[in-house]
Structure 1
Amino acid sequence: MTEIVKPTVERDGETQPLKLVPLLTLGLALLAVSCAAIFIRIAEQELGANATVFNRLAIATLAFWVLNSLSQWRRRSPLDWQDPPTYHLDDIVQLIAVAAVSSASVVLWAQSLTETSIANSTLLRNLTPIFTSLGGWLLFNQRFDRRFLVGTLIAVLGAIAIGVEDFQISQEHLLGDGLALLSAILYGSNLLLVERLRSRFPTSTILLWRCGIGTLLLFPITSLLEEQLFPQTWQVWLAVVALALVCQVLGQGLLVYSLKQFSSGFIAVFLLLEPILTAILAWLVFAELLNWTNWLAFVMVLSGIYLTRSSRSATQSVTVSTVSEPGTRDNGTR
């Protein structure tokens, strides 16, 4: 038997919002993830899409293995009688599913950029919040209040408006558009799966499985499809290392960590700030023009995020078992 517990504070009969620190953590994750496009552009001077993702996951796997080893070493003491984590069959299946879905999403998105325009790919990728909320409702019986749904709709429409002027409908872009749309669906599924695992496993464990299995899945595919598996110049090596450590370890790590405070639906909406951040950086660094439509779209996204953040559906729901298994302790894993 389970019950749903929300991490909010009851005070004077009213539910108080979460503190600012988790939101700043999510903002740092967004900043780290936003750097991916720059590093991918540099890496793809020598490597294909599959090889770039393979190197990203392989280096990140090593980093998370080191972090997990250090964490276990710090907890190891004569006074530590805590039971080791136990992996049940459904846990292993979900961890493998997260790795497969996440890796497929990244590869499909990278491939879509070679088959369609950046504007088309980005716009379709921004539909992720719709698929996250829809999947949570259909598969996991999640409920969203009216404020959250309205905020999500406003934010998605704002994100679409950012690139709608450059959106092109043509038969030659059909394959790339389909890959971008499928990537958005898979990324939304990834957030939902990680949200369920986050209540039972620490961030580094989830990401170690995700990156490790993703590396194993991509190795034969990359070996067959790509002529070059590893970078040849130090500049591209720096790019793939930064892609792994900044975007995967720091960015994705903080995103997974934030799923203990926020719902997957809210994080999907919050990530709509990424194209805004990219556009503003392009404006500051490359002097790219931003018209009044762009600024209106920015306001719409920010307004939508504010509405979703102020709703009850933005907080993370954690499933807590009311019946403990014999001979085990509730230490965050099963």
Structure 2
Amino acid sequence: MTKATERGGILAILALILANVALATGPLFVRMADTGPVSAGFWRLTLALPVLFLIARQQREPMTGYRTSIWWLLVLSGIAFALDLASWNFGIERTKLANSTLFGNMGSVMLVVYGFVIGRVWPHRAELGAVAFAILGAGLLMGSSYELDVRNLVGDLFCLLAGVLYVVYLLSIRHVRGEMGSWSVLVWSTIFGIGPMLCIAVLLGEPVWPTDWTPVLLLALVCQLFGQGAMVYAVSHFSPVVLGIALLSQPAIAALIGWRVFGETLSLFDTIGMVLIGVALVLVRLPEARRAARLAASPPAP
């Protein structure tokens, strides 16, 4: 057992497991909602906002008084997150649940490409392998989707676009975390994301007001509050590799839900593609884990 695990004990392990289970149910609730998929995302943010605000106040995190540049980054983060959620929810209804979860979580691999192209930082061998496995796995999944139905391929592409937009969201909040608490960042990014999501839903002609509130309430409570909250707690107790491996439970759970509820089956190429992307999600975290291990093992400064 690692020192990080010892700090959290069984509670951290349970939080990590439950977080991944909760987040994997998101696509199910989106499909169950009698609103449009983007509208479901709008309610996910709107219903969760009051609770996020109360948590931020309870943690005594300042909500105002930031520099103008910080506000612009918060606006960017909200718009990026809204577009990410809209693309992902739109794709969920057009592809298999397992595919949507895998492509939606490929942001960590895309960050490697960002660092290489924009930051001119050559990736480690593990990161290069992760990119290669991710591309090959995505190609197999998309090819299988196209053979099944071209609409499934469109769903894959929208979920992949969601992964790109999530990287934009992560990069924008990365620059404000030094001046803001994590909960206040979530509050403001949620506030600035609600408007764009509603506009997109209206422009697409989706029904916005639900007649059955159960799916959107579950989406907000189980995924946005419980799932994200448990992940925020667990993430500080485990190494990046452990988190990467735990992340792989999400597409597996989504695949099980898709099979049991919607009769979705996985072909051989689907399975191989999922395994390759899963390996990529673990490989991409290896250099970070090694850097953390070296820092932990280095002697303290005199």
Using structure 2 for the length normalisation, give the TM-score. Answer: 0.71
TM superposition shift of 1:64: 0.5
In structure 2, the residue matched to 1:47 is 35
Structure 1 contact 129–265 (Cα < 8 Å) conserved: no
Which amino acid in 2 is paired with 1:311? P
In structure 2, the residue matched to 1:59 is 47
Which amino acid in 2 is paired with 1:30? N
Give the structure with higher Rg (CA): 1
Select which of 40, 49, 56 maps to 1:68: 56
Distance 2:238 2:79 in 1: 23
Structure 2 contact 133–279 (Cα < 8 Å) conserved: yes
> Is residue 165 of structure 1 aligned with residue 144 of structure 2?
yes
How many correspondences in the alignment? 286
> Is residue 278 of structure 1 aligned with residue 263 of structure 2?
no
Which amino acid in 1 is paired with 2:227? G
Which amino acid in 1 is paired with 2:39? A
Structure 1 contact 148–313 (Cα < 8 Å) conserved: no
Structure 1 contact 105–183 (Cα < 8 Å) conserved: yes
SS of structure 2 residue aligned to 1:102:
helix
Distance 1:171 1:293 in 2: 16
Sort the Cα spacing of 1:218 and 1:154 in 2 relative to 1 into closer, same or farther, 3 A. Answer: closer
SS of structure 2 residue aligned to 1:197:
coil
Provide the aligned C-alpha RMSD in A: 4.3
Q: How does 1:127-142 map to 2 (within 5 A)?
A: 127-139=106-118
Q: How does 1:184-333 map to 2 (within 5 A)?
A: 184-223=163-202, 225-226=204-205, 228-232=207-211, 236-255=212-231, 271=247, 273-282=249-258, 299-312=275-288
Structure 1 contact 95–210 (Cα < 8 Å) conserved: yes
TM superposition shift of 1:242: 1.4
Sort the Cα spacing of 1:100 and 1:315 in 2 relative to 1 into closer, same or farther, 3 A. Answer: farther
Write out per-residue CA displacement over residues 144-181 of structure 1, whole angstroms, 9 at most, x where no aligned residue: 42223324543564566466533349877786565444
Structure 1 contact 47–230 (Cα < 8 Å) conserved: yes
Residue range with higher mean Cα deviation, 100-109 or 180-189: 180-189
Distance 2:173 2:239 in 1: 11
TM superposition shift of 1:133: 1.8
In structure 1, the residue matched to 2:298 is none
Unaligned regions of 5+ residues in structure 2, if any?
Answer: 293-302
Unaligned regions of 5+ residues in structure 1, if any?
Answer: 1-16, 76-82, 317-334
Distance 2:205 2:193 in 1: 17
Structure 1 contact 132–188 (Cα < 8 Å) conserved: yes
Structure 1 contact 101–186 (Cα < 8 Å) conserved: yes
Q: By percentage of residues, which structure has more strand?
A: 1
Sort the Cα spacing of 1:90 and 1:30 in 2 relative to 1 into closer, same or farther, 3 A. Answer: farther
